[in-house]
Amino acid sequence: MRLHRIWLPGARKGRSYSLDAKESHHLITVMRRGEGDEVIIIAGGDQVCHGVIESIRREGEIPLVKVAVGDDYSAEPPPLKPWVVGVSVVKERNFELSIRMLSELGLEGIVPLVSERGQISLAAGSGKIERWRRIALESAKQCGRSSLLDIREPSSIGDLLDTETARDLWIAHPGGLQPSWSDFIGPDGLTPALFLVGPEGGFSTSEIDLCSEQGGRLCGFPVPVMRTPVAVMLIGALGALVEMSREPPDSDSDALNSC
């Protein structure tokens, strides 16, 4: 039986925690778990623990669950890929699908981009960020991440570039070069990178020029025109394929014999 995953940020081994009504309902009514069943506790900060359903009580028709946190869970998830994707929001359902894809593919974060040709309001207080973070949480529980996809606050391209100067910059753009895997790999694995995906009409000339001034490179794909979620999926899959394509270290290398 597949162990159900519960997100409990800050949970500590040897303690018990009460789940909220929504999580309790899903665990007992949907997943059909009962007292004594094992679960996996995702405590954040890359900490994953065994857990067990300690007790179930009911308030009317609503089950309320308490879980006990046990030892570290040995099957550690793979490390996150140090890539962040800035996505211009045109259709909310496409952005939500992008969140799920990047979460499942193990990327670090996503940024809602305020671009010249974007069409969705990202005003504070709209509730969109909270909804997107709930989607990231659901995805993390489903795919086994030990930390949530980082849903950043909305940002203009200029502000984002100012805060991400340590990352390689790539702009998804029709006609851009099709990079080699070696463009994304360094001595320690994947190079930290920021990818930008524009709206349906693409980035404006001034936005492309701004990125180019900051050392950004245009990145093309074999498909000339694609919807936002497809472009996002290809970026996430690229990270996975680059990691899979790395040559194994030379057994005679100094790095292995330096001791």
pLDDT tens digits along 74-85: 765 667 899 999
> For residue 117, what are its two tokens?
């040709």
Q: Residues 231-236: what's their mean pLDDT?
A: 91
Q: What would the pLDDT profile of 94-112 be if each residue is shown by its tens digit?
A: 899 999 999 999 999 999 9
Task: Please provide the average confidence, as pLDDT, over all residues in the chain.
Answer: 84
Instruction: Order the strands of the 16-18 sheet from edge to edge.
Output: 4-7, 38-44, 47-59, 62-72, 16-18
Q: Residue 84 corresponds to which amino acid?
A: V
> For residue 150, what are its two tokens?
């980082």
Q: Residue 106 corresponds to which amino acid?
A: G
By mean pLDDT, which of 33-42, 189-198, 210-219 is the weakest?
Answer: 33-42
Q: What would the pLDDT profile of 127-144 be if each residue is shown by its tens digit?
A: 888 899 889 988 887 777
Torsion of CA 141, 142, 146, 152, to 10 degrees: -80
pLDDT of the residue at 121: 64
pLDDT of the residue at 122: 67
How far apart CA 5 and CA 140 sit, in angstroms, is 9
Nearest to 114 by CA among 136, 131, 95, 142: 95
Q: What would the pLDDT profile of 22-76 be if each residue is shown by its tens digit?
A: 888 888 888 889 999 998 888 876 778 889 999 999 888 888 999 999 988 876 5
Ramachandran angles phi, psi of 186, nearest 5° = -125, -170
Q: What whole-number percentage of the chain has pLDDT above 70?
A: 88
Pairing of strands 150-151, 155-156: unpaired
In sequence order, the β-bridge partners of residue 172 are 219
Overall fold of domain 81-245: Alpha/beta knot (3.40.1280)
> For residue 75, what are its two tokens?
């099957």
- Residue 250: pLDDT band (50, 70, 90) is very low
- Write down the domain spans for the chain: 4-72, 81-245
How far apart CA 206 and CA 49 sit, in angstroms, is 49
- Residue 191: pLDDT band (50, 70, 90) is very high
Pairing of strands 168-177, 16-18: unpaired
How far apart CA 53 and CA 33 sit, in angstroms, is 8
**Burial track 82-100 (b if 16+ CB lie within 10 A, e otherwise):** bbbbbbbbbeeebbbbbbb
Q: Which of 1-15, 115-129, 196-210 has the highest mean pLDDT?
A: 196-210
> For residue 55, what are its two tokens?
């007790």
pTM: 0.72
How many CA atoms lie within 13 Å of 77's alpha carbon, on the beta-carbon side?
A: 27
- Residue 256: pLDDT band (50, 70, 90) is very low
> For residue 11, what are its two tokens?
């949970």
Tokens 């790395």, residue located: 246
Q: Architecture of 4-72 per CATH?
A: Beta Barrel (2.40)
How far apart CA 172 and CA 159 sit, in angstroms, is 18
Nearest to 7 by CA among 19, 121, 16, 15: 19
The answer to whether residue 164 scores a pLDDT higher than 80 is yes
